[in-house]
Amino acid sequence: MKQLLLVLCGLGLSVSLAAQRVIEGTIADDAGTPLIGASILAEGTTTGTVSDIDGNFTLTVADEVRNLIVSYTGYGTQTVPLDGSTTLDIVLSEDAAQLSEVVVVGYGKQIRSTLTGNVAQIDGSDIENLPVSSVEQAMQGRSAGVFVQSVSGKPGGRINIRVRGSSSISAGNQPLYVVDGVPITSGTFSSPGSGSQNFLADLNPNDVESIEILKDASASAIYGSRAANGVVLITTKSGQSGKARINLNLSGGASEPSRYREFLNAEEYVRLFRQTAVGAARYDFNNQLNDFGLEGDEYTLDNTIAAYTEYVEDRLDRYSGPSDWRNNETNTDWQDEAFQTGRNQNADLSLSGGTDKLTYYASFGYSDQEGILAGNGFQRLSSRLNLDAQGSEKLTYGLRFGFSRSDNERVSDDNQFSTPLQLIALSPITPVRNTTGEDFVYDGTTFAPGQLYDRPITTYYNGLVELANTEKQSISYRTLGNVYGQYQLAQGLSVRAEAGIDVANIKQNRFLGRLSDGGEATNGFADSRWGNIVNYTTKALLLYDRGFEGGHNVDFVGGIEFQKSTEENIEVDAQEFPLDQLRTIASAADITGGTTDLTEFAFQSYFGRANYNFERKYLFSLSARLDGSSRFGANNRYGFFPAVAAGWVLSEEAFLTDNPLVSYLKLRTSYGLTGNANIGNFESLGLYGASSYGFVSGLAPSQIPNPDLTWETTKQFDIGLDFGFFNNRLSGELDYYVKNTTDLLLNVPVPGTTGFRTQFRNLGELQNRGVELLLNAVVSDGAFGWSTSFNFAYNDNEIKALAPDQEIIDDGGNRYMNVVKVGESLGSFYGYEYAGVNPENGDGLFYVNATDDDGNIVDPNATTNDANEANFVILGNAIPTTLAGWTNNFSFGGLTLDVFFQGSFGNEVHNSAGNFQSCGGCWFDNQTRDQLDAWTPENTDTDVPEARFYWGNADINRSSRYVSSGDFIRLKTLTLAYELPGTVSGRLGLSRLRFYVTGQNLALITDYAGWDPEVAADFLADDSPNIQTSVDFYTAPQARTIIFGVNVGL
């Protein structure tokens, strides 16, 4: 580290004595309109600037510079020869396909037309001002082959991202995130009983300049052992030379659930449970169960119905409290109690500007999002300072620094009665609180006036009591910074040094008061957790970019990188609090436990990439990375990950150069290896754990070592076609890929003689293969403008092999049905196949699905009412096979309308709460309205079995009865904006004045009967995110949000 700082200081003291000249000029479009912020770069150097508000620029360059590279988003890039000129008037023409735009790649930038890899780009302007809490949410549906899943509608929670499918069973499947060159801590930080916190929510989306997603091996292999799941490069905004520009954005609005479900009202609830009493009695009598012990002649159907009816009415008396259920005196909609209208406020202020020697960008942001679940919310304060300086003609240096504070007001995870959405299980005949004006006593429990009702009045624990008597807060302080220095050794040859740091400091406090479910038995309970993650990176690079006579162009980057990450956690628990108002650990009478842990990992890497093109027509790329990791066994500490790619720009050939139809056509292909090192830090080591016996402490083995443990390796082949027609008014990309991942990291059984049950080993194989399509079109570019973009992706995921003699991994028990099965997609649903209802007696039926020795079903029509006689079969995919996104941008004068649709198809969703919510009578939970269509002797044409108590009739969670299609089309965002003409804004002393309204998740088309088909219950997603997905268990839907905003430029 000291040596690196000395290098940076030495670079900062360098002074160039080379001969220089000053180039001045203007940049405009075909209509003569000045282009603000166009990039001007001296070819073969890092010297550059941008045009000011009038399109003017000034740039000092060395005498040996022969060309300027001029680019602007949406316009074709030009190579402008200097030829001794010092004054230039440059005109850029619109390029509908933006084929010459500059894209960020690993450790550098490239012009898209010479790119051989597959890199998806999202412009910062497409995601700014969206009502989202994290950057990944804004990426949803905007890139072909990139699956973005918000596991629930809780702001600041987990987001799952899969680039070209899931590539691992046990290791991580999330991509590597790199912000301004720094690999950052991503994923989540778990909290006991309250889901997890998303680290990327600390980054302000309005600070983002662009997002590049490296999808194929050619683009991502330079990141080696961490690139198997793709790489997401996030570049924050930089300053532009010229006078200071101030931009202020203010917005506010509200959120509500994007969807409500229909549950029974009080009258329907009473009717269904009376019907359930009859159904249960009929089943009891027909099967001679006699559950009420009626004697002799008293055991008749009528008497049995009377006994069950009395049982039901006793329950109804209890659940209705002081109200009269017979007259529907109370009709509580618990769904309304669970949800709230969330307030949404955002403010962003930025300042940018500079000279040809120093540019700056500074920002301050505030975001306050109340969730749609009662008691849930997310706040973020953020700041950023980015500096770029030209120390001399050959020296550049700069700084990227961001700081944020995120505050997440949490609610319980989906699997607890204390979570707000499980309120819907309560009976609609139960009042929310005591409004009688006097004490109400039931079975020895007193409820004072105004007090919330709880057990025994409520069916289950009343989650509103939880909200009133608990506190669950998570606060994150995040520091993310990078400094760099770059020195030009010769024309086209530079050295660069960087040092980056990412510090996440997380504080989580949870207090459960004495009236809450978790604190009642201990006079209050609290735990406090502090976590500190420090991740630093240093790197040194050698850069070369040079064009030669005869059309030969070469660029190269090579370097060495070191990264180390340390995580420390401290936790303490306490109980017995004198008062609920005293909530700190120090106030407790009994400190019940405490723990600390420290873990770390390190990477040491050597990498390089060389690109060559001849006349920008024939393209070749070679990249490689050698990674060393502390996570893997001593025998496999290092891994080598090479990639090769080639491209052919056919449109530059003589037979196509004058073709009026084809504007651009490039064929490219790539093959390479990437790795997955996203596992625990000590999986390869033999570990010991502390224990004690008879007041004597000692160590005992806790993990068997595996010195041969190594990376999961993904071999990826890609072939693609980039095209543009009609002067690039229609353009796009078409790709086909195959990804084979081998050496899967799995816990496999080991002989009992080892003293252990399992060991982490490299076994198994899976494959992803698919097709991606991107289409961009400019339909109209006159007074009325209309551009559209459509992306489509199909991915087939298949488990090819597991451990020897192993065909399935099934840890779901009787409740969850996601499995890993050879020949099927990762996380496929596996259970009983529901066959409907026997019209003669109302029994729910299952297909037997018995198989012969070859695995073929003997009789596909055979059914049974006893699930024990049926066999499990694959019931569907948990992962979508097809993704789509469609954007339309309309403009007329200063009025713009942007409409974005998102689609997801090919997966099913398991409503794991279905055997409580949609199960006839079962446990006195409130039911979905379809249960009113349950079988009766008068209603035999139905798929809903006869209502009976307590899982009595095909109410088996692990069956297709509760699995349905997860296909959906969503109107994701719609923005209507009006920007005042520049002349009007100018008279007001402003450079810009724009008003807008944005709606998110405005409409949803789906056959799924639950709240939202985009779902992964958080308590499962945190434990097993690769396998347990598309499971709905009282999981909050996405929020429908509408915000109004104003953007002011000074």
What is the predicted pLDDT for the residue at 1039? Answer: 95
Residue 668 pLDDT greater than 90, yes or no: yes
Distance CA 325, CA 331 (A): 9
What is the predicted pLDDT for the residue at 481? Answer: 96
Distance CA 925, CA 315 (A): 12
**Average pLDDT value for residue range 264-272:** 97
Confidence of residue 10 (pLDDT cuts 50, 70, 90): very low
Residue 566 pLDDT greater than 80, yes or no: yes
Distance CA 162, CA 424 (A): 32
CB atoms under 10 Å from CB of 598, counted, come to: 10
Q: 301-320 and 266-286 are packed helices; what angle lies between their axes, rounded to 10 degrees?
A: 150
Confidence of residue 15 (pLDDT cuts 50, 70, 90): very low
What is the predicted pLDDT for the residue at 898? Answer: 96
Share of the chain above pLDDT 90, in %: 70
What is the predicted pLDDT for the residue at 621? Answer: 97
Cα distances (angstroms) measured from residue 785 to each of 96, 175, 886, 892, 894: 12, 36, 17, 6, 11
What is the predicted pLDDT for the residue at 956? Answer: 87
Confidence of residue 192 (pLDDT cuts 50, 70, 90): low
**Lowest-pLDDT range of 112-126, 183-197, 414-428:** 183-197
- Token readout for 442 is 């039931």
Residue 146 pLDDT greater than 50, yes or no: yes
Distance CA 658, CA 113 (A): 18
Residue 2 pLDDT greater than 60, yes or no: no
What is the predicted pLDDT for the residue at 76? Answer: 72
Residue with tokens 């009891």: 284
**Average pLDDT value for residue range 89-99:** 68
- Residues sharing a CB contact under 8 Å with residue 2, sequence separation 6 or more, in sequence order: none
Confidence of residue 190 (pLDDT cuts 50, 70, 90): low
**Average pLDDT value for residue range 535-553:** 92
User: Would you say 61 and 42 are in contact if contact means Cβ atoms under 8 Å apart?
Assistant: yes
User: Would you say 574 and 591 are in contact if contact means Cβ atoms under 8 Å apart?
Assistant: yes
What is the predicted pLDDT for the residue at 4? Answer: 41
What is the predicted pLDDT for the residue at 660? Answer: 87
- Token readout for 586 is 């120090």
**Average pLDDT value for residue range 491-506:** 95
Confidence of residue 193 (pLDDT cuts 50, 70, 90): low
Confidence of residue 31 (pLDDT cuts 50, 70, 90): low
Contacts 24+ apart (CB under 8 A), 648-656: 648/617, 648/618, 648/619, 649/113, 649/616, 649/617, 649/618, 649/619, 651/724, 652/615, 652/616, 652/617, 653/617
Residue 404 pLDDT greater than 90, yes or no: yes
How close are the terminal C-alpha atoms of the chain, in Å?
Answer: 42
Residue 33 pLDDT greater than 80, yes or no: no
Distance CA 370, CA 340 (A): 9
Distance CA 292, CA 294 (A): 6
Helix, strand and coil content of the chain, in percent to the nearest 5, comes to: 15, 50, 35
Distance CA 1018, CA 15 (A): 56
**Lowest-pLDDT range of 87-96, 621-630, 717-726:** 87-96
Residue 951: left (phi > 0), alpha (psi -120 to 50), or beta?
A: left
What is the predicted pLDDT for the residue at 1049? Answer: 93
Distance CA 573, CA 434 (A): 34
Confidence of residue 6 (pLDDT cuts 50, 70, 90): very low
What the chain holds in terms of domains, given with CATH numbers, is 2-94 (2.60.40.1120), 119-251 (2.170.130.10)
pLDDT in tens, 466-479: 999 999 999 999 99
Residue 873 pLDDT greater than 90, yes or no: yes
The amino acid at residue 844 is: G
User: What count of residues does the chain have?
Assistant: 1050
Task: Look at residues 99, 94, 127, 128 and name the one whose alpha carbon lies nearest to residue 114.
Answer: 99
Q: Which of 15-24, 368-377, 757-766 is the most confident on average?
A: 368-377
**Lowest-pLDDT range of 115-124, 196-205, 793-802:** 196-205
pLDDT in tens, 613-655: 998 899 999 999 999 999 988 899 999 999 999 999 999 898 9
Which three-class secondary structure string do you get for 902-965?
Answer: EEEECCEEEECCHHHHCCCCECCCCCEHHHHHCCECCECCCCCCCCCECCCCCCCCCEHHHEEE
Q: Which residue has the higher pLDDT, 241 or 1039?
A: 1039
pTM of the model: 0.88
What is the predicted pLDDT for the residue at 17? Answer: 38
Distance CA 916, CA 538 (A): 54
Residue 96 pLDDT greater than 50, yes or no: no
The amino acid at residue 709 is: L
**Lowest-pLDDT range of 27-36, 420-429, 987-996:** 27-36
What is the predicted pLDDT for the residue at 310? Answer: 96
Mean pLDDT of the chain: 90
Confidence of residue 77 (pLDDT cuts 50, 70, 90): confident
**What values do phi and psi take at 11, rounded to 5?**
-65, -40
Share of the chain above pLDDT 70, in %: 95
- Residues sharing a CB contact under 8 Å with residue 416, sequence separation 6 or more, in sequence order: 193, 422
User: Would you say 624 and 221 are in contact if contact means Cβ atoms under 8 Å apart?
Assistant: yes
pLDDT in tens, 223-261: 999 999 999 999 999 998 888 999 999 999 999 999 999
pLDDT in tens, 773-789: 999 999 988 889 999 99
pLDDT in tens, 276-318: 999 999 999 999 999 999 999 999 999 999 999 999 999 999 9
Query: What pairs with residue 898 in β-bridges?
Result: 889, 975
**Lowest-pLDDT range of 4-13, 422-431, 574-583, 753-762:** 4-13
